[in-house]
Amino acid sequence: MDIQYYRRLIESAYPEFRLDTLEPIGQGWDFVAIEANGSHIFRFPKREDIVPQQERELNFLPELANVLPVEVPRFDFVSRDSSREPSLLSGIRRFRVSP
């Protein structure tokens, strides 16, 4: 995993976000997850065909947050840029689940 690649993506998409530390969280079939500053999680689709799935998530999770009695991730950062790959980047504030 090229952490510097993800650093450049975050810095170019969100210049207002002061980026001090980046830690890889992991990756699956569709996404790479990176923790930034210990406070945010950024997810990067591995392929452009995943972007519609991510768009559905961006639209659906706020609706769930209004009806569920549990904390639902809210996107603090969303960047769409068709000249970049991946064209959609998103980030949420990290929250911790109590045991």
**Domain residue extents for the chain:** 3-93
Q: How many angstroms from the chain centroid is the CA of residue 44? A: 6
Q: 73 pLDDT exceeds 70?
A: yes
**Mind giving me the DSSP string for 31-42?**
EEEEEETTTEEE
Mean pLDDT of 69-88: 89
Rounded percentage of the chain residues whose pLDDT exceeds 70: 96
31-61, pLDDT tens digit by residue?
Answer: 999 999 999 999 999 999 999 999 999 999 9
Q: What is the model's pLDDT at position 39?
A: 94
Report, at the CATH architecture level, how domain 3-93 is classified. Answer: 2-Layer Sandwich (3.30)
- Cβ–Cβ < 8 Å for 72, 61: yes
